[in-house]
Each structure stands twice: as structure tokens, then as C-alpha cells.
Structure 1
Amino acid sequence: MVSWLRKNLLLVMTVGSVVLGALLGFLLRGLQLSPQNIMYISFPGELLMHMLKMMILPLIMSSLISGLAQLDARQSGKLGSLAVTYYMLTTVVAVITGIFLVLVIHPGDPTIKKEIGTGTEGKTVSTVDTLLDLLRNMFPENVVQATFQQVQTKYIKVRPKVVKNNDSATLAALNNGSLDYVKASVEYTSGMNVLGVIVFCIAIGISLSQLGPEAHVMVQFFVIMDKVIMKLVMTVMWYSPFGILCLIMGKILEIHDLADTARMLAMYMVTVLSGLAIHSLISLPLIFFVTTKKNPYTFMRGLFQAWITALGTASSSATLPITFNCLEQNLGVDRRVTRFVLPVGATINMDGTALYEAVAAIFIAQINGVHLSFGQVVTVSLTATLASIGAASVPSAGLVTMLLVLTAVGLPVKDVSLIVAVDWLLDRIRTSINVLGDAMGAGIVYHYSKADLDAHDRLAATTRSHSIAMNDEKRPLAVYSSLPTDDDKLTH
């Protein structure tokens, strides 16, 4: 027992921090703390988020480039095709699960809208604009800018500058704004363009692998950089239990009407949580078992640290370093697989977010008394899949992309404010499902590529030994003549 506790001390501390944070949060609610005091309580958790996010950019760059540079183009293509196939399959399964549950349970009641009220109007978005923004972000015009800004389409009202007919009626129409028109405009918003950074790093990694021995020094640079970042991450992990405890306490203390909100949105929460439970405990393990013929729950046990961290931070990108550690140290997955599959998965594979958005969109339709046709339900499923790919891997990103899903079927975007009150909890749970899906995807990809990777290692070892032998043969005779002979050793 003592040896197990010593080995799993960090895991025990992390789990304890989640439980203790929730208990202290509920106990301190009776003190009616001011927003300033709540901010002080949350501050250590804020520092944890800063430290983890600080690691994201160097970790993605070093891990992707070092991982792909050690593979040939054929292996990279196989890893990529396996990963994308898995991502699409699990996202579609998650969306179908969510839609089935929300239609069967029917949590939407029009009285909820009357009791909670609505918030401000959301911004105008469209499916096409989101798809174009996705492509723009994949290929940023400035890689340095992509590390802190991303592209986003917005609509601006434009007033004509020149009017041909300068009669009084035209001038009056120009002044009162009736001649104004709406124009799509591209703007840069704050936030790392992870997708663009990933595409750039993939291109660099594949190019380095094609250069062969010529690029050895540069590959070693990124390999060592990756090890340095992971060493820093291990240091941060020992601080994470305290940070997670403060994060959860702060979130619970921020909620004003916890009981009333839970009562009115209870069925909605039950629907989302049931869908996430089915997807994580049945769908994902079933896919893992069918593809690998291994026990999925044994595999999931090794991911517990990453799951708990995702629960505390509500960010799959911030959890990325811990997920790397769990897969490589606990489960023995090849680092070349994890370094490629996990960063890409943390950006485009959002099973929990896709399920949540499908449920939330149909829930909002139900509380507005809108009956969605089969075609509209299909539209919700396709748009939720697309929106989950475009969602940033940061806390509450699903609320932003939710606007896209609602616009696609003509629902009022302002009703997103109805579900904000419980999003803090659902966001953490769906993020943990996102992380679980990414990690199981890495396990499946490793299962199918293990033989190729072993063959590549054997070939590299053979080539290396052959090269050493060739160098020995080419060594000048003068070198050998200068070495002491057996007779010299005897005389000495």
C-alpha cells in the first residue's frame, strides 16, 4: 500500500484536490464572499493555467517536428490517415448519440425561457464563413502572428461614398442609412491560431524527414527541446493539485443562483451528462476493443491523471503535456505517435464538444417550441461536427461555436445565455471526454503502426551499424600502426 501510494502520489493529490475544491467551494458559499475575495481564491489556479498555456506553443512545435522528422513520408501518411479516420468516426458517433438522447428525453420546456430570461444578441455567423475561417487559419500569412492571433470573419455596415444621382431623395436616403449595405470583413482576434501552427510544424517535420542525415542536427535540436519542455511540465505537475483546487473553488463561488439554475436546467444537464457517459464508457471503449482487441478500461486507467487535470483546467491544450506523460510513461505508446496524434487531436477532435453542441441546439429549439424537421436535424449534426473542428481548445470555446449551429437552423442566437449558467460544469466534463478520445485515438493508431515503426527502427539500426563498419574500413593504416601491439604490451 505504501509503495503504491508513493508511486501514485501525484495522482492521489490531483484527485483529492478536485474533491476538496468542490467541498470547500460549497462550504464557503455561505460566507457571501465579495468578487474581489473570490478572485484572490482563484489566483493560484489562474497561475496554473498561465504556466500550462505557456508550454503549449513550444510543446506543439518541438513534439510535432521531432516526431514527424523521425518518420518517413509513408509512415507519416499512414499515421495521418488513421488519425483523421478515427477523429471523423468518433465525432459522428458522439453527435448521433447526443441527438438521439435529446430527442428521446426532450429536456426543453418553454417555461424555462420565461423564468431565466435571455441575454444580449449574439453576432451573425454562417457555416460558409466558418469553413473559410477554418481554411484561412490552417494557412496563416504570418507564422509569428499565428502564435497570438487568429482570423475571424465579421460583418460590418458600409455606407456608399459616391452616389451618382445627387437629388434630394437620394441624399436623404444616404443620410438616414437606408442605402447602407453589409459587407463581410476579415479581422484578427486575440488567441493562438493552434491549427495554423500545427499545419506549419507538420510541413517542417515532413520536410526534415525527407532531408535524411543532412537534417540530423536540426532534428536533434527539436528532440532535446521536447525533452526540456517535458521536464518543465513535470515540475508544473507537482503544483497542479493546488492550482486545480483553487480553480474549482473559485468557479463554485462565482455562481449566484446554484440551486434554482440546477432545478430549471436539470433535465438538460442529465441529457448532456448521459450522452457524455455513453460516449466515454461505451462508444469509445467499444471502438477501441473492436480495433485493437485489447481491454479499453485497462488503457483508460492509465489516463486517469490526464482526465482529472482536464476536469480541473477545462482546457484540452493545457492538459496536453500531462496526456503525453500518461501515454508514454504509463501505457508505453511510442512518442512518435503521441507527438503527432495528440496535438492534432487536441485541435480538431472534440467529441464532447460536438455532442454538447448538438444537444444544446435541439434543446434551444425545444424551449422555443420549434419542431425541427429531419433535414434540420441532419444540418445540426453536420454543423456541430464542423463547429467542433473549428473550436479552440480553451475553456468555454463550445459556447462561441454554438452560435454557428444555431444560425444554421435559424434559431435565436441570444438564447445561448440560457445555458451559460451550467456551462462551467459541463465544459469541464466534455473537455475530459475530448482528452480521453484523443488518447484512445493515439492508442489505436499505435496499434496499427507498431509493426512499421519497429521495422523502421531495425532498418535504422542496421544502417547505422553498417555505416560504422564502413568508417572502420576507411580508417587510415597509420592509425592502426600507431596502436600498441601485443609485443609492445609485453615489453612494458
Structure 2
Amino acid sequence: MKSRRRDEIVQFCRENTLLVMTMFSVFLGVVLGFGLRPLNLSQETLQLINFPGEIFMQVLKMMILPLIFSSLISALAQMDAKESGQMGASTVLYYLSTAVLATLLGIFLVTVIHPGDPSIKGTDIAEAPSEGNVSPLDTFLDLVRNMFPENIIQATFERMQTTYVAIRPKIASKNGTAGNIIVKRSIGMTKGMNILGIIVFCTGFGIVISQLGERARIVVDFFVILDAVIMRWVVTLMWFAPLGITCLICGNLLELDDISDIASVLALYVLTVCAGLVLHTIITVPLMYFFITRENPLPIFKGMIQAVVTAFGTASGGATLPMSMQCLEDHCGVDRRISRFVLPLGSTINMDGNALYEAVAVIFIAQLNNVQLSLAEVLTVSITATIASIGLGSVPAGLVSILLILNTVGLPVRDVSMLFTVDWLL
């Protein structure tokens, strides 16, 4: 019996070599990260440890643009326009539903667990950088603006974002004093790929090609072959994932200033967020899958485990997009035309974790300041967190999103700096 069990394990390892190596790299990264902390390594050494992970992340991000272009256009070009419309509507509705459920779960847990104890607030908390009077309306409008970029080439490296500029009037007031500073909105371009705009362009391009029939056959074939080339390249690059993930995790753990802060001050907050993420992953989403399909969700979990481990190691859903596509098509048997449309869109607007994290963070800060939020304010947090998670999902650390919600409900922004220590972990 033991021999048979051993043979099964060996067979599994042979068939899932990359998965086993990736899972081991996560474990190795954590062990090395904690094990090397007492050595107080120099900044140059930390830089060298992080370097392979940095290159791995750059390579993954390099593949996002060609992958979205080739996969979306090739998938939609081979589908009927009516089917594409139905699939798009169903996908967006599902993503919005999961984001709302994640936000409500986060609000429920932070209210029940109540991690925000005012007594743990230090007196020397640094003032967090302010983004001005960030408006939920501006966030929503930026989302729509980015859906329709004026230049598709520019969208590959810049996106539109509303900023707030302080202007002091040149003309003095009647009593001779300078006028009050006026904050004006300014719509400009900021660095970062406008993935949403690229997705909208590719979606329209693919649907139009599908309507042209045989006249566009050569164009369809081009994108189908390009898609196959990109995916073959991605599969090869993923063999470097174990080294990259080990370095990323180890480097991030070594760069944390004081891990005792996590254990002593923010442990309950970390527990609340992690509990919400785990419950959403193992209960909310599987239940939705079961009610919609009436099928067991466990085979999907098993088929997607490689992508899940990669996402954990890289802390990036966008960088994990190629692996997610491969797992969904090869292990879960999903039609490539569906996966090539649903996954790029999901990696941009389906930010359940962001929505939950931001809702918990805002109410946690309210609890720290002994502020009792009314039902209307809690609903405002829920709606704003959902919108912000979609519109600002690509902003690192979720800082702008959290500041947006704090300003919406009138809470102080200075306590955001307390969350920096555990932000990478969460």
C-alpha cells in the first residue's frame, strides 16, 4: 500500500514538475526570508537577491500587451457577434457581483472582529501623502475615459487620470491679503499601461472581423498564429518562475523594517483581511460557481493551482495572466475563445481582493479614531470600494483607493501610514 502511494506521488511530481517546483519556491522564499533577517544584509546584497525576481516580473509584464492583443482578437474573431455580446454582459455582471460580495464580506468581518483599538495608535504616526479631495465621480469618469483612449499607441504606456492642482490667485483680496488657495481638477496622462482601453479596442476589432466572414480570414489566421506563438513563448518563460518567485518573496521579507510591528500592533487587522480573503476564495466564489453551473468546483481549484501559486509568489494578477490562460484551457477544458476574452477583462476589472481590503482598511481606521459610521456611510464605503477597486486596481498598494474612500466619508488620512508595514503581506 505504501509502495503504491509512493508511486502515485512520484507520478504526480513527474506530471506536474513546474507546479511542484513553484510551490517549493514559495516555501523556500519564506524560509530564506526569515532565515537571513538576523544577518542584517547590506542594501547591495538585498538588491542582488531581488534582481532575478525583478527581471522575472519585467518579463511577465512584457508579455501582457502582446498576449491581450493576440488572444482577445483571435478569440472574438472566431465567435458570432451575438455570442460575444452575451458573453461580455454575463462576464461584467459576474465580476461586479463578486466585487460587491467581497466588499460586504469585508465590512461584516471588520465589524464583528473589530480590530481597530484606539489604544494602539502611536503619537508619532507620519502624515500619509494626500491626493487632494479625491472624488468617487472622478474615479468613475476616469474609468470611462480610459475605456476609449484617443490614441491606442499611447494607451500602451499611458492612461488618463484626474489630478488636483492647488492654485493661489494672483489678485489680492480687498483687504490686501492673498486670496484663498483654490484646488482645481486637471485631467492628464500618467505613466502606466491603459489595459482597459486596449481591451475595449481589441474587443471591437475582434467583433468587426468576425462579421466580415471569409473576407477577413487571412487577418483571423494571422492573430490565431500570433496567439499560438505568444503562448508557446510564455510556457517556456514560466520555467523561470521558481527562481523569480523565491527571490521576490525572500527580498520582500528582508526589506520589512520591523516584523514585530505586524505581530504586536496590526495582528488582528491582518487576521481580519486574511480571513475575508480566504472565506471569499473557498466559500463565496465556489458557491457562486455551484449555483450557476450545478457542478463541483474542486476540479477547477485543482486545475488552477499552478496559477494560484504563481499569483501568490508574484503578487500580481496581471503578471499571472499567461499562466491562468494555460491552466484554464489545458487543465479545466475551457474553450480558448472564452478564456481569451474573460481572463484579460478579469485581470483588469475583477479586483475582489482590493475591494475587500479597502473596505476593511477604511472601517479599521474609523475604529482607531472612535468614529461610528452610520448605515449610509457604510453603504457609501461599500459602493465606493467596489468602484475604486475597478477604476484604481492597477495603483500600487491601493493607497489612492483608500484615500478616496476616507475622503468620501470624512475620515483622517494620516492613519494610512500604519498600514504600510503589512501592505505587501496582504
Aligned to 1:77: 85
Counterpart mapping for 1:210-221 below 5 A: 210-221=211-222
Letter in 2 for 1:419: L
Correspondence for 1:37 among 42, 45, 62: 45
Q: Distance in 2 between matches of 1:393 and 1:330?
A: 28
TM alignment of 1:121-200, pairs within 5 A: 121-124=129-132, 125-160=134-169, 170=174, 172-173=176-177, 176=178, 178-200=179-201
Q: Are the counterparts in 2 of residues 276 and 352 from structure 1 also a CA contact under 8 Å?
A: yes
Confirm or deny: 8 A CA contact 2:125 2:414 kept in the other structure: no
Write the distance in 1 (CA, Å) between the matches of 2:45 and 2:35: 15
Match of 2:260?
A: 259
- 1:283-362 equivalences under 5 Å are 283-362=284-363
For residues 366 and 180 of structure 1, what CA distance do their matches in structure 2 show?
32
TM-score (norm 2): 0.95
Cα separation, partners in 2 of 1:88 and 1:62, compared to 1, 3 Å: same
Could you list the per-position Cα deviations for residues 416-462 of structure 1 after superposition, in whole angstroms to 9, with x for gaps in the alignment?
21111101111xxxxxxxxxxxxxxxxxxxxxxxxxxxxxxxxxxxx
Matches of 1:364 and 1:34 in 2, distance apart? 35
Higher relative contact order (CA 8 A, sep 6+): 2
Structure 1, unaligned runs of 5 or more? 427-492
Contact 1:346/1:393 (8 A) holds in 2: no
Whether 1:57 aligns to 2:57 is: no
The residue matched to 1:303 in structure 2 has which SS? helix
Displacement, 1:118?
A: 3.1
Residue type of the alignment partner of 2:263: A
Distance 1:66 1:171, change over 3 A: farther
Q: Secondary structure at the match of 1:119?
A: coil
Paired residue type of 2:412: P
Task: Give CA-to-partner distance per residue, 1:205-241, whole Å, 9 cap, x none.
Answer: 1111111111111111111111111111111100010
Moved more, 120-129 or 397-406: 397-406
Three-state SS of the structure 1 residue aligned to 2:41 is coil
Offset, 1:406: 1.3
Q: State the TM-score, normalizing by the size of structure 1.
A: 0.82
Aligned to 1:402: 402
Deviation sequence 1:132-177 (CA, Å, 0-9, x none): 111111111111111101111111123446x6xxxx864933xx3x
Identity in percent: 56
Q: Contact (CA 8 Å) 2:354, 2:393: kept in 1 or not?
A: no
- CA change 1:149–1:227 in 2 (3 A) is same
Helix, strand or coil at the partner of 2:165: strand
| Residue 130 (structure 1) shift | 0.7
How far does the alpha carbon of each residue in 1:103-126 deviate from its partner, in whole angstroms, 9 at most, with x for none? Answer: 011000112321672333321211
Alignment length (residue pairs): 417
Letter in 2 for 1:422: V
Residue 4 of structure 2: aligned partner: none
8 Å contact kept, 2:397–2:423: no
* CA distance in 2 between partners of 1:5 and 1:331 (Å): 19
User: Which structure's residues are more often helix, by fraction?
Assistant: 1
Out of 184-193 and 334-343, give the one that drifted further: 184-193
Contact 1:248 1:312 in 2 (8 A): yes
Distance 1:180 1:172 in 2: 15
Are the equivalent residues in 2 in contact too, given 1:44–1:243 (CA < 8 A)?
Answer: yes
What is the distance in 1 between the residues matched to 2:95 and 2:393?
Answer: 16
Q: Please state how far the C-alpha of 1:393 moved relative to its aligned partner.
A: 4.1
Look at both structures and tell me which one has the larger radius of gyration over its CA atoms: 1
Aligned equivalents of 1:346, 1:36: Cα separation in 2: 34
Q: Distance in 1 between matches of 2:314 and 2:173?
A: 59
Q: Cα 1:116–1:169, aligned 2, differ >3 Å: closer, same or farther?
A: closer
SS of the residue aligned with 2:176? helix
Distance 1:155 1:71 in 2: 43
Contact 1:95 1:354 in 2 (8 A): yes
Give 5+ residue unaligned stretches, structure 2.
Answer: 1-6
Alpha-carbon RMSD across the aligned residues, in angstroms, is 1.5
Q: 2:111: which partner in 1?
A: 103
